[in-house]
Structure 1
Amino acid sequence: MNGLSRTGISLLAPLALVLALLAPGRAPAQPAQDAAPLVFADAAEETRFRRLVAELRCVMCQNQSLSDSNAQIAHDLRREVLMLMRRDMSDAEVRQYLVDRYGEFVLYRPRVEPATWLLWFGPLLLVLGGGATVVWIVRRRSGDRPVPHDDTQEW
């Protein structure tokens, strides 16, 4: 077999398979880019737009606002927000449209309603519960055994 034995070929086949599977993963990813930057009619529209997208969360990134995210869906949502603004929708209507489409998650400050009470008041309940537990433990321990007076101590 011209210098290659059966063992050599059987070892090269898995190596070639692994290299073939890894090759696409080594191609560098390109960041998402806006094809055309947003153009605003005036400074007031831009100010309103910037304020609004800062209050909305990127549905993909989870911890970034629409204004901070570089994900492709964030680019698309920014364009959609501008389009909705140009349809004379108020900020509240734009937010409601996005909530209807993506859920309450899209808002950085979710509304106070029964579904979000735990989110808003849960930390306060934990702090109050922890404080009450500490007070209960301290009172219980201090009430069980009085500290004996020790005349040998010099202060």
Structure 2
Amino acid sequence: MKGFSFLIFSFLFGQSLSVFATEDKFYFEAPEQQALFFELTKELRCPKCQNQNIADSDAMIAIDLKRKVYQLLQQGQTKEEVIDFMKLRYGDFVYYQPPVNSMTIWLWLLPLFFICIAIAGIVLGRKRQVSHLDDEKLKKAKALLESD
């Protein structure tokens, strides 16, 4: 029994150490550089997780991207240069603010199209409802006139 509990304890202790092994510490000379790092890691999307930024993702690719952002900032590159590097390497998908071009124009126009369809549906539905009520009132009026 002692051997089994020791084995379980060793396993759990080993698992807790692995959590600390994957945590990266990034050191910056200036607070502005650190703020830029955090801003960029919030704006860049994890290619594996797809709906999570690299700051919040624990995927290996996200960790590699954080390291690359850190490396590029240490080389003195600007925010735009880092974003351009990531977009060149991983495509427009990696950046949460896709550019408006022939490939992404549908992302911008499709919501407007659906809003227009919804408004048209509401307007047409109300017109039908009103015309239906008008028909009923007309029938009642004719019935009243004929009964006199």
What are structure 2's unaligned runs of at least 5 residues?
1-14, 142-148
Q: Does 2:41 align with 1:53?
A: yes
Counterpart residue number, 2:110: 122
Decide which of 73, 78, 86 is 2:66's aligned counterpart. Answer: 78
Counterpart residue number, 1:8: none
The CA distance in 2 between the partners of 1:86 and 1:122, in whole Å, is 40
AA aligned opposite 2:70: L
| Maintained 8 Å contact 1:56/1:106 | yes
Counterpart residue number, 2:136: 147
Counterpart residue number, 1:92: 80
The CA distance in 2 between the partners of 1:42 and 1:89, in whole Å, is 14
Once superposed, what is the RMSD of the aligned Cα atoms? 2.6
Q: Determine what percentage of the aligned residue pairs are the same residue.
A: 33
Counterpart residue number, 1:64: 52
The CA distance in 1 between the partners of 2:81 and 2:101, in whole Å, is 18
Structure 2 length-normalised TM: 0.71
| Maintained 8 Å contact 1:33/1:72 | no
- Between 1:57-66 and 1:126-135, the stretch displaced more is 126-135
Q: Secondary structure at the match of 1:41?
A: coil
The CA distance in 1 between the partners of 2:125 and 2:51, in whole Å, is 39
The alpha-carbon deviation at position 141 of structure 1 amounts to: 5.0
Q: Secondary structure at the match of 1:89?
A: coil
Counterpart residue number, 1:38: 26
Equivalent residue pairs, number: 123
What are structure 1's unaligned runs of at least 5 residues?
1-27, 151-155
Q: What's the CA shift string for 1:86-116, capped at 9, x where partnerless?
A: 2222211111111111111101121222211
